[in-house]
Amino acid sequence: MPYAWDFPAAQWKEIVLRSGGRERNVQLAEIGDLLPMNISSPQNGGSAMVDLNVFADGITQSLQISNYNPKTSMYQLKANQSATSVSASQDKFETITDDNYFRSIIFRFEGMGISLINRKGQELCYTTLRGVEMRYNESDILQNFSLKLKWLQVDNQLYPSIYPIIVYPTVVPKSSIEMNSHPVFSTAISKVKDDTHGVTYIKLANLLLQELSVEVDEDFLFALLDFSKIPGASWNQQTADNLWDENMQVPEPPAIRTSDDYYFEHFTIQPLQFNLSFTRTERLNADETSDANNALERQCHICFRP
């Protein structure tokens, strides 16, 4: 049944469902299976349970109301409750726990090292990664992926250098136990396998990055810019500087995207903090020539010019 909002500019847009003396406010922005609702049954004057499901159909969000089936519903009545005696209170239901994983993949790397070497055979920096752990679990309902990095450090290999360490955690763990419980970087994504909601349903997404200190001198920065001059890279391509486009035709408007939409039930980003230090020095390890077409180099000249 198509509908239109009574107040389109209202901050909260809800559909109100009333049956007998019971009322339920439904927000169509909450895509997925909602808590069942207890309504009055017109056949016998008693009550009945219905399932509420919000899904996306292209650019339209729809509410589906169906009979409550405990075998297929994501919510189950508690042990001491029944569908005929349950009240409208939401605490009479419990979510089905999905702990039966039939596929589990774990990758652990005790340590990894990445070194950057320029065209002259000179090492610029050495990156140390410790405690890299990747996990993938799959069940009948969810797909879970997590990534954890316990330690990150980037060492400056140029000589002489003012800052021997470029990137490192500001708060250094005192023991291996503390490093396991407080990794430098961790992320986790939990995806619902059910695709009947019309979107890619992400049940949980979490991102954590600990406080980092970044200490860079001008010598290392320009050496890194010189290293970024990779032949064929997008930031090194020549672009035509035209005042206006020769084609004066008005382009057709793009089609409305109705696919590849993502819905996040819980999306958590922990607070990020970076401590930046920069020192101007003599350019000893980089070429003196400057490329005006290099966007990265232009930004550095603007930010750090005297």
Same domain, 287 and 152: yes
What pTM, to 2 d.p., does this model score?
Answer: 0.68
Domain end position, chosen among 95, 118, 146: 95
In the prediction, which pLDDT does 258 show? 54
Q: What is the dihedral of CA 257, 258, 262, 263, to 10 degrees?
A: 130
In the prediction, which pLDDT does 296 show? 59
Domain count, the chain: 2
Q: 304: which residues sit within 8 A by CB, 6+ positions away?
A: 218, 221, 278, 280
Other CB atoms within 10 A of residue 59 CB: 9
Q: 253 in a domain, yes or no?
A: no
Alpha-carbon distances of 111 from 15, 114, 117, 158, 190, rounded to whole Å: 54, 10, 20, 23, 26
In the prediction, which pLDDT does 3 show? 67
Same domain, 59 and 124: no
In the prediction, which pLDDT does 126 show? 93
Same domain, 110 and 155: yes
Query: Would you call 32 helix, strand, or coil by DSSP?
Result: strand
Q: 24 in a domain, yes or no?
A: yes
Same domain, 132 and 38: no
| Gap between the Cα atoms of 112 and 129, Å rounded | 5
Same domain, 281 and 224: yes
Same domain, 82 and 142: no
Q: 295 in a domain, yes or no?
A: yes
Q: What share of the chain is helix, strand, coil (3-state, %, to 5)?
A: 10, 45, 45
Domain end position, chosen among 67, 95, 123: 95
Q: Which pair of tokens denotes residue 136?
A: 């993938």
pLDDT values of the chain reduced to their tens digit, one per residue, 306 residues: 666 677 777 777 788 888 777 788 888 888 888 888 887 766 666 677 888 888 887 777 888 888 888 777 777 777 655 544 444 445 466 666 666 778 889 999 988 999 988 888 888 899 999 999 999 998 888 899 999 999 999 999 888 778 889 999 998 888 777 877 889 999 999 998 888 888 888 989 999 999 999 998 888 888 888 887 776 666 666 667 777 767 777 778 777 655 578 888 889 998 888 998 888 776 554 444 555 555 555 555 555 555
Query: Would you call 172 helix, strand, or coil by DSSP?
Result: coil
Domain region containing 73: 15-95
Cα end-to-end span (Å), the chain: 66
In the prediction, which pLDDT does 100 show? 77
Same domain, 89 and 215: no
| Amino acid found at 138 | E
Q: 4 in a domain, yes or no?
A: no
Q: 28 in a domain, yes or no?
A: yes
In the prediction, which pLDDT does 23 show? 82
Same domain, 199 and 114: yes
Same domain, 87 and 133: no
Domain end position, chosen among 95, 117, 132: 95
Same domain, 38 and 159: no
Same domain, 19 and 125: no
Same domain, 189 and 203: yes
Q: 21 in a domain, yes or no?
A: yes
Q: 242 in a domain, yes or no?
A: no
In the prediction, which pLDDT does 135 show? 93
Q: 241 in a domain, yes or no?
A: no
Under a CB-based contact definition with an 8 Å cutoff, are residues 128 and 152 in contact? yes
